[in-house]
Chain A
Amino acid sequence: MRAGFFSRPSGAIRAVDDVSFSVAPGETLGLVGESGCGKTTLGRAVLRLVEPSAGEVMLDGHNILALKKEELRAARKRMQIIFQDPWSSLNPRMTAGRIIAEPLQIHGVAKGKELWERVAELMAQVGLRPEQMRRYPHEFSGGQRQRIGIARAVALNPSFIVADEPVSALDVSVQAQVLNLLMDLKEKFGMAYLFISHDLSVIRHISDRVAVMYLGKIVEEAPRDELFKNPLHPYTRALLSALPVPDPQTRRKTIMLSGDLPSPANPPPGCYFHTRCPLKETRCMEHIPQLKTVSNGHKVACLLAEER
């Protein structure tokens, strides 16, 4: 909210509300949810690219949200982001080489000849030819551009990377290549990913653990296989039922959700999902369910699932 002499009325939207999760070193946490549910905002808030109004983000024992401007700039070395749209994530007036070199220059990692050797090495690591260093972004394909963005993100050996739908703008044939690159890099450098996607098959492929988000809240979180085998939240079940099964004999009933995602500016009372939930009861409209552990590592925010 703004106030002051020239104030304009502006509403506050809780794009992400009361969310808590952790990612272990070397782990990939998949964050899944439909568009507009706050996945991107969450990813950017964690990196303080949007300022959260409250909360705590701990990275290697330091609270990122408490850092001052210069401390934050230095801390950015350890946390990075890969963007969804490879067409807007690269400065059109900088060459690929200079884009990848920039983080190294800022943090004084390398300079002169060593800098360009390091850039060439990074390009090779992400599957680009070092000779392409002098080319501009518009001379690359979408998949190649995404590789440039990945090289920029891993240049400083970060311990944590937010991958915000890194393959959803790419052709299906290229998606697998980029996913495999991300997994190879993780193996090599041991960083942790917060992998944001709306695509369940991608999430299933890459994640160790999965968190499901609905309207700014995490409604279920579990190790990957547990979540896909035994989904507890009705929203997760609806999502999973939409996933195609590679077996023509299997017949599964698709749970169709009716209605639209409610506006986050005016969320429904009680459980945010009750307006579309096939199992809703009266109490769902009154009580907000908390994310509770129901079995080993499996958390769910549903009044009904808790009792089972």
Chain B
Amino acid sequence: MAAEKQKTLLAIVLRRLARNSFALWGGAAVLGLFAVAVLAPLVAPYDPSVVDTNVILEAPSAHHWLGTDELGRDVLSRMVYGARISLMVGFVSIGIATLIGVIVGALSGYYGGWVDELMMRFVDIMLTFPTFFLILAVIAILEPDIMNVMIVIGITGWMGVARLVRAEFLSLKQRDFVVAARAIGQSDAKIIFKHILPNAMAPVLVSATLGVAGAILTESALSFLGIGVQPPTPSWGSILTEGKNYIEFAWWLSLFPGLAILITVLGYNLLGEALRDALDIRLN
């Protein structure tokens, strides 16, 4: 039963996305990242952590397309494996943020009153912290480890989602079909999950897509500062860090990871904005 409508709705959304060239470019970048990350062992020409002292800091060539680093490791291979980190960070941290945000926003918007007051004031407090420095402080206390980084990005990034979901709930709970659900004696939990939430998910999907771009940037920045992904695990941010010491004569160590971050973030942003337009059913 559900598949029928989802097919039609999905078809509408996909058709709109296909007509939008930005969406196609964004989607291609994101899909490319997925493919590279999943197929990393097949795509990478070398083992990303094998040290080869014969080819230290070699410029891009036919053997090493994107050159080598100060330990003679292949930059392309390290970037391919780094894509896995970016993908994982995007999904796990935004997954955490979206989960917290949806729960807080749903309870806040549905129950209102003191529940709403309490939760929204807590959101206000969370928003007064400069997020990046909060992450820095927390990571400084915890172990600098990729799992911790993802969790911290997640629990510092849910406030926007909470406000978004709250606003959707506030408007949806006034709609007649929700009043009807109350009138037939439906439970609060079922009203929230069956009637309101499915109708509130489109903006959440958009915000999550845009959020992934932010999370990838944050992870790169943390790794650049040395408190994100720890060596020898390659990440785009940590390749940049190593590269900055040799930037005068080994430009490839800084340029290519930088480009990878740029393309990925741009891809997610383009896709997110195209999704926002495509999911707005009211346009038609």
Contacts and interface: CB of A to CB of B under 8 A. Distances in A.
Nearest to B178: A91
Given A93-B5, A136-B5, A103 B176 contact: no
A232 to B, nearest CB: 35
A102 B186 contact: yes
Given A81-B183, A103-B185, A95 B199 contact: no
Given A76-B185, A102-B184, A106-B185, A134 B4 contact: yes
Contact of B184 (A98, A134, A136, A156): A156
Contacts of A74: 185
B1 A89 contact: no
B175 A88 contact: yes
A6 interface: yes
Nearest to B186: A106
How extensive is the interface on chain B, given as a class?
A: 20 to 34
Interface string B84-128: 000000000000000000000000000000000100010000000
Contacts of B4: 134, 136
Contact of A90 (B1, B117, B177, B186): B177
Contacts of B5: 93, 95, 136
A91 B183 CA distance: 14
Nearest to A75: B185
A89 B176 contact: yes
Contact of B183 (A76, A90, A92, A98): A76
B187 interface: yes
Contact of A80 (B184, B187, B194): B184
B195 interface: yes
B184 A93 contact: no
A72 B1 CA distance: 32
B184 to A, nearest CB: 4
Contacts of B194: 91, 94
A97 interface: yes
A149 B177 CA distance: 9
A102 B175 CA distance: 17
B177 A91 contact: yes
A241 B184 CA distance: 39
B183 A47 contact: yes
Interface string B167-198: 00000000111011111111100000011001
B198 A49 contact: no
A39 interface: no
B183 A88 contact: no
Interface in A81-110: 81, 83-85, 88-95, 97-98, 102-103, 106-107
Contacts of A107: 185
**Which of A85, A91, A134, A136 has its CB near the most chain B CB atoms (within 10 A)?**
A91
A24 to B, nearest CB: 22
A28 B231 CA distance: 78
A98 B5 CA distance: 13
Nearest to A69: B188
A73 B185 contact: yes
Contacts of B183: 47, 49, 76, 80-81
Nearest to A90: B177
A298 interface: no
Contacts of B176: 83-85, 88-89
Contacts of A106: 184-187
For the complex of A and B, the 5 pairs showing the least CB-CB separation, nearest first, are: A76-B185, A89-B176, A103-B184, A73-B185, A91-B177
Given A89-B177, A97-B1, 8 more contacts: A74-B185, A81-B183, A88-B175, A89-B180, A90-B177, A93-B5, A93-B199, A106-B185
30 contacts: A6-B117, A47-B183, A49-B179, A49-B183, A73-B185, A73-B187, A76-B184, A76-B185, A80-B183, A81-B180, A83-B176, A83-B180, A89-B176, A90-B177, A90-B180, A91-B177, A91-B181, A91-B194, A91-B199, A93-B199, A94-B194, A95-B1, A97-B1, A103-B184, A106-B186, A136-B4, A136-B5, A149-B180, A152-B184, A156-B184
